[in-house]
Structure 1
Amino acid sequence: MLQAIIFDVDGTILDTEQAILQSLQRTLREETEKEYALDELRFALGIPGKDTLRQLNVDDLETVHQKWSAAVLDFSQEVSVFSNMEAVIQSLASKPLQLGIVTSKTRQEVTDEFDPFELSNYFTQIISASDTVQHKPHPEPLITCLELLQVAPEDAIYIGDSIYDLQCAKQAGVKFALALWGAKTTKGYEEADYVLQEPTDILTII
């Protein structure tokens, strides 16, 4: 019996693609003097920021990560809640379900980039990259959220838009629903239990 729905944030609740990519592009230009096309940086979507910088062989990881996190806020006008998502979350909150978040954002990034949209109060637990040793695609963040919600893996669904989200869910024993509005493709997501075309589709799986 479904007892919990757990959400990713970037690409699932919030349309953050342009803010993430443009701020990363600018930070890399300023800190490494290298110019990247936005398409070259698309791999960064859905994975922890430090993982992105490691893959780009950035030297001063901590400093550059802090500057990138600060730069994202300069592009806050590019960020929005996906259409109908707020109404869906409000509807879910009125049902006998617990809502949670498992995100690759740090706790500070959740405060700066998610809390302003005034959706945080709908979620019983918010697990950020600051709360666990291991990060997605490792199952620890999702298992931690389930333990705090006191919900068994088989009674939960994780909604996300990246391969890391899918792998995290599968390793945790949780059903996975693909947010197609963020992923934009079903290729590579053959193991998804549900493919959601738009946020209102979430209401059809509960």
Structure 2
Amino acid sequence: MGYKQIVFDVDGTLIDTEYAVIHSLQDTIRAINGKIISDKELTFALGITGENALRRLGVSDIASALSMWDKNMEKYRDTITVFHGIKELLETISELKLGIGIVTSKTHEEFRSDFQKFDISSYFETVVCADDTLQHKPEPDPLLKYMEWTKCQANELLYIGDSIYDMQCAKHANVNFGLAKWGAGNRVNAQKAFCTPFDLAKSLALTKS
């Protein structure tokens, strides 16, 4: 299994943003049309672009709603954390001389705002954001763009994510997928799943030895 690149989703995989994303989206929808939507009804928004999530909720002025959603996220910044074991995982991958990258549904602006403040951002050599492709997860375009930039073949990548959209994106791009069960919980079932970042690190070390 000659992986050359280990590629990660961000939300629910590297950082725990579920509470912040869902509650800020609840606030946004309530401000727009007065509707109160339950946490469970909004889990679909985890893993797709903010634009697509708002469109599925029937919001007409997407640009204004995105701006409001981003401002509402600020109220929940303190709830966002790096998952336990992620830094150690990244150190292991680096020691194995494998490339480390990101394919995310965040825009570059959202990525800078939500992610780059954490002390793990320096590990990532290649980052594909939503504004780098016309089509987004679950379409294959983000991973195809990553392969274009890194000059890697599909069988040389392992994509780690927590959502059905991540898994479908990998499948459509013929890329191997590993489920970050530490972020997905019981929402998604996948053939290859890792309960903790330490399990993934151990698996990669064994395949490399």
**TM-score bucket (shorter structure):** over 0.9
Contact preservation (8 Å) 1:73, 1:113: no
Q: 5+ unaligned residues in a row in structure 2: which ranges? A: 205-209
Deviations 1:64-91 (A, max 9, x none): 0121122212211110000111111122
Residue 199 in structure 1 maps to residue 197 in structure 2: yes
The one-letter amino acid paired with 1:75 is Y
Contact preservation (8 Å) 1:8, 1:159: yes
* Residue matched to 1:106: 107
Aligned residue for 1:115, secondary structure, equals: coil
Provide the C-alpha distance between the structure 2 equivalents of 1:66 and 1:90, rounded to a whole number of angstroms.
35
Aligned residue for 2:59, secondary structure, equals: coil
Deviations 1:43-77 (A, max 9, x none): 11111111111111011111101211222122111
The one-letter amino acid paired with 2:36 is E
Superposition pairs for residues 1-206 of structure 1, below 5 Å? 1-185=2-186, 187=188, 189-190=189-190, 192=191, 194-206=192-204
Provide the C-alpha distance between the structure 2 equivalents of 1:131 and 1:195, rounded to a whole number of angstroms.
28
The one-letter amino acid paired with 1:166 is M
Once the two structures are TM-superposed, the CA of residue 186 in structure 1 deviates from its matched residue by 6.5
Detail structure 1 runs of 4+ shifted over 3 Å in the superposition: none
Question: What is the TM-score of this pair, normalised by structure 1?
Answer: 0.94
Contact preservation (8 Å) 1:124, 1:149: no
Provide the C-alpha distance between the structure 2 equivalents of 1:158 and 1:203, rounded to a whole number of angstroms.
14
Contact preservation (8 Å) 1:6, 1:102: yes
Once the two structures are TM-superposed, the CA of residue 95 in structure 1 deviates from its matched residue by 2.0
Question: What is the TM-score of this pair, normalised by structure 2?
Answer: 0.93
**% identity of equivalent residues:** 39
Aligned residue for 1:136, secondary structure, equals: coil
The one-letter amino acid paired with 1:46 is G
Once the two structures are TM-superposed, the CA of residue 30 in structure 1 deviates from its matched residue by 1.1
Provide the C-alpha distance between the structure 2 equivalents of 1:92 and 1:114, rounded to a whole number of angstroms.
19
Once the two structures are TM-superposed, the CA of residue 94 in structure 1 deviates from its matched residue by 2.3
Once the two structures are TM-superposed, the CA of residue 40 in structure 1 deviates from its matched residue by 1.6
Provide the C-alpha distance between the structure 2 equivalents of 1:82 and 1:21, rounded to a whole number of angstroms.
18
Aligned residue for 1:101, secondary structure, equals: strand
Contact preservation (8 Å) 1:98, 1:149: no
Provide the C-alpha distance between the structure 1 equivalents of 2:202 and 2:88, rounded to a whole number of angstroms.
14
Aligned residue for 2:115, secondary structure, equals: helix
Aligned residue for 2:36, secondary structure, equals: coil
* Residue matched to 2:207: none
- The alignment of Structure 1 onto Structure 2 pairs a total of residues equal to 203
